Amino acid sequence: MSEPVELVLSEREEGIRLDKVLAERLPDLTRTAIQRLLEEEQVLINGKPAAKNRKGRAGDSVALRIPDPEPLCLQAENVPLDIVYEDDDLLVVNKPQGMVVHPAPGNYQGTLVNALLAHCGNSLSGINGVIRPGIVHRIDKDTSGLLMVAKNDFAHQGLARQIKEHSFRREYEAVVAGRMKQESGVVNAPIGRHPIDRKKMAVTEKNSKEAVTYFRVIAEYPGYTHIRLRLETGRTHQIRVHMAYLGHPVAGDPAYGPRKPDLGLKGQCLHARLIGFVHPRDGRYLEFESPLPDYFTRLLTKLEQL
């Protein structure tokens, strides 16, 4: 354990949540990392562990005990990667449907992280911990498409800041059940943990966060609609939850749609088709597109024949 980071809160920080104060005072740590330290009782106020929702008071003495980095025990695997762009700071990967992004119980092999370790070696950011090196944002196992990966903490912080400020552009395509009532629209409904099924998310006012999704109809088929979506926020399962909330669950979605996946799909028909962001090192705006994968185009062909 390294020496604790110590600081004293000022009058202007009175009444502001401690995790927000510390994220502003300590730019090398993300707010998520600070919240993790709070949960692990590694943040002390006046010598006592601080509660996660603690608000600052002028004159409070704060000490952060930052654990030494854990040794990386994940196995590098020679799993093929579809790399759309790469430089010394970051890379953009086109993830196939069915690939898990980072290891978790039941999925410790064959993940995107295992493949990245083989490709990048030790050149991955460590901000999100030993299990998620380089991972700035995620998409679900059965969602295909584009992901950014940070090779160092500088790039990670710059990209994460754009996500937080909603300046990071993300567009998706999906096939959803039913015919949409509007050609385009916006869903502005907060998302939080499902009150009964803790593995799922839901539109709820309780312990939730703002979630905004824009949609536009591309084509209509008997019983289904092909749509394009743009995320303003990036909550867990956001598109899947918002579409189910509208009564149009994503086709093939086993969690938020019918229990039995329809149309022979192996998971939700959802593809991250475009990402755009400012390069954290040189300020260039970069934008990348991914064509619809085979499973998606095969479905569209099937729908055209209905």
Q: Could you tell me the pTM of the whole model?
A: 0.77
For domain 69-165, the CATH superfamily is Pseudouridine synthase (3.30.2350.10)
Copy the structure tokens of residue 5.
């980071």
CB 282 within 8 A of CB 173: no
* Sheet containing strand 61-64, strands side by side: 5-8, 61-64, 43-45, 48-49
Active site residue 140: yes
For domain 166-306, the CATH superfamily is Pseudouridine synthase (3.30.2350.10)
Q: Which of 19, 60, 89, 140 is catalytic?
A: 140
Copy the structure tokens of residue 272.
């991250």
For 30, residues 6+ apart whose C-beta sits below 8 A from its C-beta are 23, 127, 128, 156, 157, 160
Which of 99, 88, 182 minimizes the C-alpha distance to 138? 99
Of 10-24, 127-141, 182-196, the one with minimum mean pLDDT is: 127-141
Q: How far apart are CA 18 and CA 4, in angstroms?
A: 16
Q: How far is the CA of 294 from the CAs of 96, 254, 261, 265, 299, in angstroms?
A: 10, 20, 18, 12, 8
Q: For all residues of the chain together, what is the average pLDDT?
A: 89
pLDDT digits (tens, 9 = 90+) for 142-170: 999 999 999 998 999 999 999 989 999 99
pLDDT digits (tens, 9 = 90+) for 177-225: 999 999 999 999 999 989 888 789 999 998 899 999 999 999 999 999 9
Which CATH architecture describes the domain 5-64?
Roll (3.10)
Domain residue spans of the chain = 5-64, 69-165, 166-306
For 69, residues 6+ apart whose C-beta sits below 8 A from its C-beta are 126, 130
* Topology agreement, domain 5-64 and domain 69-165: no
Copy the structure tokens of residue 14.
């009175």
